[in-house]
Amino acid sequence: MAWLFMSPAAILLLVFLIVPFLMAFGLAFTDQRLIPNPNLSTQFVGFRNFVRMFQNETFRRGLLNNFIFTAVVVPVQTGLALLLAILVNQKIRLSNVFRATYFSPVVVTMTVVAVVWFFLYNPGEGTINAFIQAISFGRLGPYDWLNDPKLAFPAIMVLSIWQGVGFQMVIYLAGLQEIPLEIYEASSIDGANKIQQFFYVTLPMLRNTTIFVVIATTILAFKLFVQVDIMTRGGPQDATMTTMLHVINEGFRNLRVGYAAAVTVVFFLIVLGVSLLQRFFLEEERTV
């Protein structure tokens, strides 16, 4: 009976995850193109794609940007999500309205969000520049957010944090509501104030939730693609290039499926390794 109920999900995972990965692993060692040439058969090229990949400056820049993006977005988004969850968990009027407001960007597809923020970042008539000029009395701005190599990637980070923080907030909110009120009452009797309750009651009780949030946010951060593809196409000067965008460019726009498959396999192993390390260290911290 267990296999019967598990079979729909297992079939979907097999067809759309395991089989494509095995195919990508096989194609990574070939010179397969998206549109095959009938006069040139696909050849086995060994590790040539992998050698070219690590020699490719665009790939190295994209991978570095992925790590920078993850290092900034994951802690900021996690901390902000916890703060919002604590705020909306209070017994106040219109708390459900605040929850829906903070969560609403998550249900909007990233394509729509990226287009809207593209206009918000507009250097001429964008709302963000207009706001900055208004509060600085014209001393600051306007900034060309998406065409300045120093500002483009931070602008993408701000958009991504705003769009995704509601998802982590809901997870933290569920974790907060699972904490027994008796623990807070007991700590109050022992003389603990609100700050002490946060560090010695709330955070320890949310440790498992935090592990899930950090790992899930890290995986989502490494998948950065849609907003970059729509808003900057990896520019200016590869300032916003990411590994996923490099894969799409090589595999579907330059038709080099074999090379793109090699990048995909290596990137998958990198993300898997980072996730396992995070889980290991967080679990180790929990057992201390």
Q: Dihedral sign, CA of 43, 46, 52, 54?
A: positive
Assign 38 a pLDDT band (cuts: 50, 70, 90): confident
Domain 44-287: give its CATH architecture.
Orthogonal Bundle (1.10)
Q: What pLDDT is attached to residue 84?
A: 93
Task: Please answer whether residues 228 and 242 qualify as being in contact, where contact means their C-beta atoms are separated by less than 8 angstroms.
Answer: yes
Mutual orientation of helices 152-177 and 207-222 as an angle, nearest 10°? 150
Amino acid at 15: V
Task: Please answer whether residues 283 and 211 qualify as being in contact, where contact means their C-beta atoms are separated by less than 8 angstroms.
Answer: yes
Phi first, then psi: what are they for 146, rounded to 5°? -95, -5
What distance separates the 2 farthest-apart alpha carbons in the chain?
A: 82
In this structure, how many other beta carbons lie within 10 angstroms of the beta carbon of residue 238?
19
Distance separating the N- and C-terminal Cα atoms of the chain: 40
285: pLDDT strictly greater than 70 = no
81: pLDDT strictly greater than 90 = yes
Under DSSP, is residue 30 helix (H, G, I), strand (E, B) or coil? strand
12: pLDDT strictly greater than 80 = yes
Task: Please answer whether residues 159 and 243 qualify as being in contact, where contact means their C-beta atoms are separated by less than 8 angstroms.
Answer: no
> What average pLDDT does the segment 253-279 reach?
91
In this structure, how many other beta carbons lie within 10 angstroms of the beta carbon of residue 175?
21
As a whole number of angstroms, the distance between CA 118 and CA 128 comes to: 11
pLDDT digits (tens, 9 = 90+) for 119-142: 999 887 789 999 998 999 888 878
